[in-house]
Amino acid sequence: MTFSVYIFLLTFNKERTTFSTHIKYGSRLFFESVSALSIINFERYSLMSNFVVF
């Protein structure tokens, strides 16, 4: 759903912005969200391991 909206915005803003900036921005957003999710999962896992240890 969001990917199709992103493609629509990409084709809609083609005359103003280039394709490479969209690729850079989209990949940065993707990697930031993945890293945030991994950090959250790591904190949750460390909390669970602390509960198991104590």
| pLDDT value of position 54 | 47
Q: How many domains does the chain have?
A: 1
Kindly state whether residue 18 falls inside one of the protein's structural domains: no
Domain assignment present for residue 44? The answer is: yes
Give mean pLDDT in consecutive 10-residue pieces for the chain, a chain of 54 residues: 65 60 72 75 70 56
Q: Tell me whether residue 13 is in a domain.
A: no
Range of the domain at 52: 30-54
- Type of residue found at 51: F
- Residue 54 placed within a domain: yes
**Angle between helices 19-53 and 2-12 in degrees, nearest 10:** 150
Indicate the pTM of the whole model. 0.33
Domain assignment present for residue 1? The answer is no
